[in-house]
Structures are given as structure tokens and as C-alpha cells.
Chains A and B, each alone.
Chain A
């Protein structure tokens, strides 16, 4: 048990739940079943964390869920995939930022900031970051399942 790591993860999970509730207007429920990674076409968004610790947060959804999330965030039909990517990036940016605020206020030495999101889309997509201590979480919602991988180095 690494208590600081668990606290960092807990801050991000709480932020994710808050932002899912406000931006997507849906409750999310943690699940132990992976319904995302087996899907053929997926979209992943990666946000880097820099400061006195390092890390990254990865969010992955299938292409149907990404479309639904984008439409909710956009309050209507999306013009194109680019707009959907922007909506998902903003969602990720906002929940990770909220989580970092919680961490920075609790651990004054952390001074964590986020890097601009990178978006990956493709068939049979796998993103691996082996040299990092991470926690994988699955959240079910009525829009579909959202997979989050939260990793920190040196925590």
C-alpha cells in the first residue's frame, strides 16, 4: 500500500466523478469488467502531469461512446470528428485539472501542472507506459464505459 499514490489516484477519481456529473450530466459507477479494451475502434486521450512529481492520465472510450460524450458536451450534433476530439480533450483537461487542484492543495510541494492532451484514434489501439506505477479503473455510464489509467512516477 502506497498511501500518497492512493491519495493522488483518489483525488483524480473524485474529480472525474464530479466532472462527469457536471459536464456529461450522468452518474458513473466503477466496474470490474473491461468492456472497452476489447473493442475494435477506440479513442484515447493522454494528458501528461509535470511538476515535482511526474505522471500521466489516459482515458479510453470506444467510438460509439466518444460520439455520445462529444454530443453531450457540445449540447448537440458534432460538426465532424475534429469537434468530437476537442470535446473529449476538454473533458479530460477539466477533470484532470480539477484532480490536480485537489492534489496541489493537499500536498503543497507537488506543484503539479498538466500538459496539452494528445489524442489517439485507431483500430486495435494499445498504449503502453510500462515504467510507471498506475491504476486502471473502469466506469460504466449510460453513454458507455470509460476506461481511465492513472499513473505517477516517483510517488
Chain B
């Protein structure tokens, strides 16, 4: 089974890094969104199994995007990815309903493990 992943991040380099570490593990990046609004506009079409979500992005940031996604699709699987992981940010994310986090720089093994955990594999 191929796992479908949507990468939401304003840096295309991050998407490239994620593809490099996850595609050999059978995880396919089905869509890259450069901001939260692009993610919301394309979610229905691609219906990813899991989303990696950056926090700071132009147009619509990762927290507001996640809030909107969770309200519309309560079962959506989101991994918040950020270079920042201070207590306030983590608390805010949890209040929104985000349960999974991965830090930047990307650690392929850590991310793969979190994806498996979030999908119950």
C-alpha cells in the first residue's frame, strides 16, 4: 500500500528533502502546497492519508490551516513540522487538535516513525 502524503511548507527545499527520505519507504508526495490556503483548496482532490504542516507560512499559516482542516475533516492526520517547538506553540497546537509533531531539520527515520504511528501501522 502506498501512503499518500501532502507537504504544506513555503520552502520547496523541505518538500524535496521529504521526498528524498520518504519516497524510498513507499510514501508518495501526492501534492505540494506552498501555503495553507493552497492546501485547503486542494485537499478534496488529493485526499492525502497524512499531511506534514509547516507553522510559519504566508497567506495562511499552519495553525489556522490545521484548525480549518480539523473543523471540516475531523479525521485528518496532521504532523506539525517546525524548527520551533516551544511550550506555547506546542500547547496551542494541541488545543487545535494537532497531536503529532516532527522537528526540523528533517530526520527521515523520525518522520517515518511518526507517519506510521499516526496511521496506526
Contacts and interface: CB of A to CB of B under 8 A. Distances in A.
Given A94-B83, A100-B84, A104-B88, A114 B13 contact: no
Given A94-B83, A97-B82, A113-B56, A86 B88 contact: no
A104 B86 CA distance: 6
A73 B13 contact: yes
Given A23-B105, A94-B83, A94-B105, A89 B56 contact: no
B104 interface: yes
Contacts of A113: 56, 84
A75 B56 contact: no
A76 B1 CA distance: 30
Residue of B14, B20, B58, B84 contacting most chain A CB atoms (<10 Å) = B84
Given A23-B105, A75-B20, A116-B58, A86 B84 contact: no
Contacts of A22: 105
A7 interface: no
A63 to B, nearest CB: 19
Nearest to A92: B83
B116 interface: no
Interface in B62-81: none
B11 A90 contact: yes
A98 B104 CA distance: 9
A74 interface: yes
Contacts of A83: 13
Residue of A97, A111, A114 contacting most chain B CB atoms (<10 Å) = A97
A42 B82 CA distance: 28
B84 A97 contact: yes
B25 interface: no
Given A19-B105, A94-B105, A86 B13 contact: yes
A111 B13 contact: no
Contacts of B105: 19, 22-23, 94
Contacts of A101: 83-86
Interface string A97-118: 1101100110010010110100
Contacts of A73: 13
Given A89-B11, A90-B11, 8 more contacts: A22-B105, A73-B13, A86-B13, A101-B84, A104-B87, A105-B86, A108-B87, A114-B56
Interface of B: 10-14, 16, 20, 56, 58, 82-89, 104-105
26 contacts: A19-B105, A22-B105, A23-B105, A74-B13, A74-B16, A86-B12, A89-B11, A93-B83, A94-B105, A97-B84, A97-B104, A100-B84, A100-B86, A101-B83, A101-B84, A104-B84, A104-B86, A104-B87, A105-B86, A108-B87, A108-B88, A111-B88, A113-B56, A113-B84, A116-B10, A116-B56
